[in-house]
Structure 1
Amino acid sequence: MAESTFNFFQHWYPIAPLEDLDPKRPTPVTILGRRLVVWKPTVSEQYRVFLDQCPHRLAPLSEGRVDLETGNLMCSYHGWQFNPEGECTHIPQAENPDLIAKNKDNFCVVTLPIQQINGLLWVWLDEKSADLAASTPLPLSPSIDASKGFVWSSMVRDLEYDWQTLVENVADPSHVPFSHHGVQGNRKQAKPIAMEIAQSTPDLIEATLSRGFATRITFEPPCRLEYAMEFPGGKKFGLVVYCVPVSPGKSRIVGQFPRNFAKTLHHVIPRWWDHIQNRNLVLDGDMVLLHYQEHRLQEYESTQSWKTAYKMPTSADLLVIEFRRWFDKYCQGKLPWEQTVVKSPEQPLVNREVLLDRYKQHTMICESCSGALKNVQRSQVALIGYFAVSVATVAAMPDNLRVSLGLPLIALALIGLGGYAWLKFWLEPKFYFVDYVHSDK
């Protein structure tokens, strides 16, 4: 691979866990500035990914629907339909029945290669190199393998900072005791990290850590960044992060968390509970820091490079330095936004409510959490309804029954009211917004 020709578009990117995609409706997604639509034909087990624009008048196909009769994707603007291969199959306004056949190539939608592996939907962003896509292995983790005794969970979240900021942050283990104090680390136990770069090539960077147990960090450009940790006794734990560039100042993280122990616990804990109590909390701990850090670095880069803007004197910084060098050497320190994104004025800093908006960034695109939120809201209605009915029933009781029957009903109603308050004021907000104040941790 030549130093100046790293092609971000000719690589596989995960879109989301399959369990978070709705097979009944089109889903919009943006990767590297390309606006895409994900949909599932009714006659297939495979999703499809198209460019999110109808060839008729460029309306977004993600606002369309999957037609129940044909199983094809219908544009909601004028009703044009497209089959799984992207071919136009129906134009309601066509007077000439041969119109579609005569313009087959001109009326088709741009389709992209996809694969469904390891519970994720993958897309290849260059529609002109499908043969290369077919011969290019996906950046899969060896730990996402049930035959090796691993179990894993997954999650996806959209982030308010750029791809290179996300890669840089995940490649930096030394921030964990501080950014995630009380969640995944302890600031009082922070120690120097003896890190070495084991290899660095255009296609792979590997680092090793010495901290009491074997740890290897692998960066496979442009998206896979994996921690593989092995503890005494053969216990293995991993962090597999796919860093997906979305648009300037925005990225998506698709994470998988494998381990070969505590398997029963894995099956017992609901996925949504793990998200609101652990995974989202970790991302919240970084969000404000990284958003502001990124803007400050952009200010510095108008007059100097990261090499002088950053002060990185310890071995804990080695992987960040190696990534930045890789990014400069093979990508000229930039993503190819000019190929897909219309230049716009620099985005202003975003307030905390937007930065930590769990609902838009995660809940609405996570099947587990959106389903749990609906159940939480339904339970609130049931509990408040039970309270009202109980109070009304006791009020209508004869005096001689109010003690024997009324008091137990009121007691249960009050317990239900407490449950309602817990759901309404403690659990439900965790699906929407939780402020992360480091000084309070």
Structure 2
Amino acid sequence: MVTEVEFNFFQQWYPVSPLEDLDPTRPTAVTLLGRRLAIWKPTFSQQYCVFLDQCPHRLAPLSEGRVDEKTGNLACSYHGWQFNDQGECTHIPQSDNPDLIAKNRQNFCAVSLPCQQANGLLWVWPDEGSADLAASKPLPLSPQVDESKGFVWSSMVRDLAYDWQTLIENVADPSHVPFAHHGVQGDRNRAKPILIEIIQSTQELIEANVGGNFPAKITFEPPCRLEYAIKFGNERQAGLVTYCIPVAPGKSRIVAQFPRNFAKTLHRLTPRWIDHINNRNQVLDGDMILLYYQERYLQQRQLVESWKTAYKLPTSADRLVIEFRNWFDKYCQGKLPWGQSEIQPQNEQPPNREDLLDRYRQHTLICSSCRRTLKTIQRLQTGLLGYFAVTVATVSLLPDPLRIRLGLPLIILALIGLGGYAWLKFWLEPKFYFVDYVHADK
């Protein structure tokens, strides 16, 4: 009898962020498979580096450090130790012994992880002990994210309040779209049966075909790439490329790309942040509360029964979910590397809606486009309020003959500016923080 080799989550490539969302001037903290990492870019390099987020001196977080303006190396903010792009310690301010670093080169190193930059994403291999294997294993790149094939695409990243396995299961289920995303990406009144056929299933790859008016191919390349290729006629094609990142028990991150080979001008003219607040975040909001509670209910049920009886999966639309769950049981023993810690305490108080749908912490802070736009909106508000106050004060000081002739137009402009302030403050700005998603209102 052949024993199946258990899937190794740590010896895989994961895209932890779009490159455009990283700040090259300062370190960025991310968590992958329960390990907190520090991403940083040496001043004199085009390549990012990824270290375990612990200074070897006293284990302070290197993500709270800075890129030294003289050496270009990463400096720990606790005691000033510096590290080059290989993780080697290059400077200890507390030592006047020039041989100290040379004699302890291996002992004083920060833990450096293999990383690559490709398709606009930063890829990390979270096992520092298998760099040779990382070098030989190809990245799970999407064939649709390719300019030479006529595709354009945008990207998005968001942290989610549910586990990796729940995220995979959700993305692998196209039948929820007309209902969970009614009015955003679907229409519940036009929902139809979905025929899904599994065409390949191995430890390395699951592929399925989806029938219907717009046939699609779904590819799951474990552990993270889950991709849709959707045909619109003979030539037009759109894709959904999701990378589902296991962060910690009950936490995941989605890094998504949205390629297509048509409507390219519209793509180039649409600011990334508008797409995020009006479309992408709405889709994720629509899933968030449903999946948070689904995950916890399943965890409770799995204390006494299998998902096979906890779920009722009678239709063809459920086939890919079943295939993923069987894959997870067969190759991962139905659990992620952190084991039983993923089962949350039964007396845990659930977060409120504002926490679950917290766009600001889950997305805005880690998206360069939305973060910059929010700052611009806040500056505009300050400017418009200042303009209103100065205008009113100025008009009040005008002589009576001029107050009507010049003051009235100025006051009208100031009121228009005040209306602009109100629109920015009470309509646009909240979309970067929190928008409640109530399915009953859709």
SS at match of 2:154: strand
Give CA-to-partner distance per residue, 1:46-79, whole Å, 9 cap, x none: 0000000011111110111111111111111111
SS at match of 2:153: strand
Residue number in structure 1 paired with 2:53: 52
How big is the shift at 1:94?
A: 1.5
Residue number in structure 2 paired with 1:110: 111
SS at match of 2:139: coil
How big is the shift at 1:3?
A: 2.2
Residue number in structure 2 paired with 1:205: 206
Residue number in structure 2 paired with 1:395: 396
Matched, 1:66 2:44: no
Contact 1:65 1:75 in 2 (8 A): yes
How big is the shift at 1:344?
A: 8.5
Contact 1:157 1:362 in 2 (8 A): yes
How big is the shift at 1:95?
A: 3.7
Residue number in structure 2 paired with 1:145: 146
Residue number in structure 1 paired with 2:40: 39
Matched, 1:98 2:99: yes
How big is the shift at 1:2?
A: 5.9
> 1:265 and 1:367 mapped to 2: Cα distance?
21
* More moved, 307-316 vs 346-355: 346-355
Give CA-to-partner distance per residue, 1:212-251, whole Å, 9 cap, x none: 1220000000000000001114111000000000000000
> 2:315 and 2:231 mapped to 1: Cα distance?
24
Contact 1:4 1:331 in 2 (8 A): no
What amino acid is the match of 1:326?
W
Structure 2 length normalisation: TM-score?
0.97
Q: Which runs of 5+ in 2 are unaligned?
A: none
SS at match of 1:372: helix
SS at match of 1:164: helix
Give CA-to-partner distance per residue, 1:91-150, whole Å, 9 cap, x none: 111142211111111110111111100000000111111111111111100010011111
Residue number in structure 1 paired with 2:278: 277
Residue number in structure 2 paired with 1:312: 313
Contact 1:160 1:291 in 2 (8 A): yes
> 2:345 and 2:302 mapped to 1: Cα distance?
17
How big is the shift at 1:403?
A: 2.3
Contact 1:3 1:331 in 2 (8 A): no
Q: Which runs of 5+ in 1 are unaligned?
A: none
Contact 2:214 2:230 in 1 (8 A): yes
How big is the shift at 1:411?
A: 1.0
Residue number in structure 1 paired with 2:184: 183
> 1:152 and 1:42 mapped to 2: Cα distance?
29
Contact 2:7 2:332 in 1 (8 A): yes
Give CA-to-partner distance per residue, 1:151-191, whole Å, 9 cap, x none: 00000000000000000000000000111011001111111
* More moved, 204-213 vs 245-254: 204-213
> 2:106 and 2:148 mapped to 1: Cα distance?
44
Residue number in structure 1 paired with 2:362: 361
Residue number in structure 1 paired with 2:159: 158
SS at match of 1:427: helix
> 2:185 and 2:7 mapped to 1: Cα distance?
35
Residue number in structure 2 paired with 1:119: 120
**1:292–1:42 Cα change, 3 Å:** same
> 1:268 and 1:232 mapped to 2: Cα distance?
25
> 2:342 and 2:80 mapped to 1: Cα distance?
28
Contact 1:4 1:332 in 2 (8 A): no
% identical aligned pairs: 74
> 1:349 and 1:137 mapped to 2: Cα distance?
40
Superposition map of 1:211-360 within 5 A:
211-338=212-339, 348-360=349-361
Matched, 1:439 2:440: yes
**1:355–1:335 Cα change, 3 Å:** same
> 1:342 and 1:92 mapped to 2: Cα distance?
42
> 1:235 and 1:422 mapped to 2: Cα distance?
38
> 1:342 and 1:349 mapped to 2: Cα distance?
15
* More moved, 213-222 vs 239-248: 213-222
* Count of residue pairs brought into register by the alignment: 440
**1:344–1:235 Cα change, 3 Å:** closer
> 1:378 and 1:192 mapped to 2: Cα distance?
49
> 1:342 and 1:314 mapped to 2: Cα distance?
29
> 1:41 and 1:56 mapped to 2: Cα distance?
20
**1:344–1:278 Cα change, 3 Å:** closer
How big is the shift at 1:342?
A: 11
How big is the shift at 1:326?
A: 0.2
* More moved, 374-383 vs 395-404: 395-404
**1:65–1:344 Cα change, 3 Å:** farther
SS at match of 1:207: strand
* More moved, 91-100 vs 203-212: 91-100
Residue number in structure 1 paired with 2:76: 75
What amino acid is the match of 1:149?
G
SS at match of 1:380: helix
> 2:350 and 2:394 mapped to 1: Cα distance?
55
What amino acid is the match of 1:141?
S
> 1:106 and 1:430 mapped to 2: Cα distance?
48
